[in-house]
Amino acid sequence: MAIKAPRKPAHTESETSGMGGEIHQRAGSRETALTTDQGIAVGDNQNSLRAGPRGPTLLEDFVLREKLMRFDHERIPERVVHARGTGAHGYFELTDSLSDLTTAAILTEVGKRTEVFVRFSTVAGSKGSPDLARDVRGFAVKFYTREGNWDLVGNNIPVFFIQDAIKFPDLVHAAKPEPDRGFPQAQTAHDTFWDYIALTPEAMHMIMWTMSDRAIPRSFRMMEGFGVHSFRLIDAEGRSRFVKFHWRPKLGMQSVLWDEAVKINGADPDYHRRDLWTAIDRGDFPEWELGVQVFDEAEAEALEFDHLDATKIIPEEKIPLRIIGRMVLDRNIDNFFAETEQVAFCTGNVPPGIDFSDDPLLQGRNFSYLDTQLSRLGSPHFTQIPVNQPKGCPVRNFNRDGHMQIAVPKGRVAYEPSMLAPDGPREHPPSGVRSAAVPFSGEKGRERAETFADHYSQARLFYMSQTEVEQQHIADALVFELSKVETMALRERMLRHLANIDEGLCASVAEGLGFRGAVEPLQAARPTRTDLEASPALSILAKAKPTLAGRMIGCVMTDGADRAVIEALRDSVTAAGASVMLIAPAVGGIVAGDGTHIPADAQLAGAPSVLFDAVALVTSRKGVTELLSDPRSVAFVHDAYAHLKVIGHSAEAKPLLEKAGVMPDKGIVPLDGKRAATFAERAAAGRIWDRDPGANAA
């Protein structure tokens, strides 16, 4: 390793950094300079100190460490980010050994089940925010391996807003409630967020993802997960290869419409939490496949984009996914605080055989997560909390004393080497963690690699890979968010970014905002590539498969309803892997046409159609007459139709459909004992996109 002093001064704020984002304010005087808490002027607030543009981040970067440390300790005890979360226990089982690539036992021992704890979360909101905010979802897995805990701490989106950890506090401060007024909560539709984004071109790819349906998932059980960064696998000979980790839900992916998300937040702000808990409680255990993209240095060099850049993906068409295992969540938590709140994840927790890349965002996370636990959990002994304790291996070291020490270390020796305690813990190179022996050289300095400079091409790739419906949703989301922005200059600047991504998208958003005039694209550090081929793997709808597994059907019934139709419906839906919630005007249930009692699972007033994937109406003539006078009943049907859902109905329920403005199409299915299977088949195909998608968007 050769580290030299920089031969030229770092860029000033008066310059434009095409790699790290455009900085437009002029450099101020020393009296107005940004400083550390020690009063030391900061010369570069965009880039961590690295050994060469693509080299590792240096521990001596006191600006980075102070900035992250102060940010990590801003709030106690709630997490600064990912505060709103829920967790569950389960296991991971390897199905395809990577013994030729790594020594990590968890990735080499086929058939062995390793206990896991998983925490899902939103990022921006507080603990009290609703589940269906438009946001990134955290997807953090703690593996209790026999070689120590491995924390794969990722999101449901494979990229991030920024390329360097030094920018993370600024990003989150911009997204959080504005500090002078304390709102909006769990929303990015406000000026400070878009002010930051408008001046951060590297965020454009992530913006496409967060404005897409990926940011409003139907369920934690129906979303993908990603490790985001490149890691390394190290084999027995010390050779290393890069790896990216992917989680794929067995139930497939599904999202809600924005109008649904808004109404679900009002009807059940705990919708995602309740869904996960209920599924596990009834034995419908969520499951994901673990896939990896493995590539070597030569393959990395051949990629169009730098894999060390966390704002970029490697399309599966370039490096296919290899499925190596499965994860099943089969046990709910016993205590929310003791487990979900106190679980502590850290990207730096890896077993032997797994190592880090030089991704500057990952390098900063490795410091920040550990530092955060000291603030949130109050002591360096947070690893003694049961949910954080290693379960598959012993813990032996000389860490002693301190606040909240629970263990009782024995003996007079608390150090090594020692002749007094020759059998005490000692280093063991054969089984110990090793770092990849990767040579590097470069000038020490704060700079961004030129290979990180293309901010628009993958944003364009993501957008062009979506179906027409999904593209419209992205445009609608941008119009909604930017319409909440009060500063016109920010709206106009975002349009100039969009012009670099896709002219059609820019035009659609401009029309939605009522912007008149030509939009001049912002000057880009690298021109947007137009030769990239679409990646269908990036679209939810393009790879969707018909299924009802894990879904919920809402069935409204009234006194006098045909019991046979209700039972046929329930049998068909259950056989397809879904659940049925029976809804009645009163929670006590109904008396069917044959005089028997049918209990209800919910009252109509408390179970709007937004909570279900498809709905059915099984009524009597008298019953439907009573429903026609209840606005909530009409709203139930109207919303289901407006949200493009399949609606099954008995012949007696037709007047309710007519009053709700329902027009016949393939998603409106008459119900009787013989056609319940048709309803299940149509519902499994998903939403009826032939209905006007724009009519229900934000």
Q: Cβ atoms within 10 A of the Cβ of 692, count?
A: 10
Question: Measured between alpha carbons, how far is residue 670 from residues 590, 676, 679, 686 in Å?
Answer: 21, 9, 8, 17
CA distance 648 to 580: 13
Asked if residues 688 and 644 have their Cβ atoms less than 8 Å apart, the reply is yes
Per DSSP, helices labelled H in 380-467 are 457-464
CA distance 47 to 24: 16
Strand (E) positions, 36-188? 50-51, 85-94, 113-122, 137-145, 148-155
CA distance 479 to 628: 36
Angle subtended at Cα 256 by Cα 253 and Cα 258, rounded to the nearest 5 degrees? 140
Rounded to the nearest 10 degrees, the angle between the axes of helix 468-483 and helix 488-501 is 160
Q: Taking the alpha carbons of 613, 614, 620, 624 in that order, is the dihedral positive or negative?
A: positive
Structure tokens at 659: 């009053």
Spatial neighbors of 440 by CB under 8 A, at least 6 apart, are 1, 51, 52, 55, 56, 358
Task: Write the DSSP string, 27-63.
Answer: P--GGG--B-TTSPBPS-SS---EESTTSPBPTT-HH
Q: What are phi and psi of 262, to 5 degrees?
A: -60, -45
Residue with tokens 């990022």: 123
- Residues marked active site are found at 82, 155
Q: What are phi and psi of 145, to 5 degrees?
A: -80, 165
Q: What are phi and psi of 80, to 5 degrees?
A: -65, -45
Per DSSP, helices labelled H in 146-225 are 168-175, 191-198, 204-210
**Amino acid (1-letter code) at residue 24:** H
CA distance 95 to 324: 5
Asked if residues 247 and 225 have their Cβ atoms less than 8 Å apart, the reply is yes
Residue with tokens 């960064």: 229
Strand, coil or helix: 477: helix
CA distance 195 to 482: 11
Asked if residues 259 and 190 have their Cβ atoms less than 8 Å apart, the reply is no
DSSP 217: B
Structure tokens at 48: 């961590």
Asked if residues 667 and 678 have their Cβ atoms less than 8 Å apart, the reply is no
Question: Measured between alpha carbons, how far is residue 447 from residues 207, 415, 442, 469 in Å?
Answer: 24, 41, 11, 40
Per DSSP, helices labelled H in 268-417 are 271-281, 297-302, 360-376
CA distance 457 to 453: 10
Structure tokens at 75: 């709030």
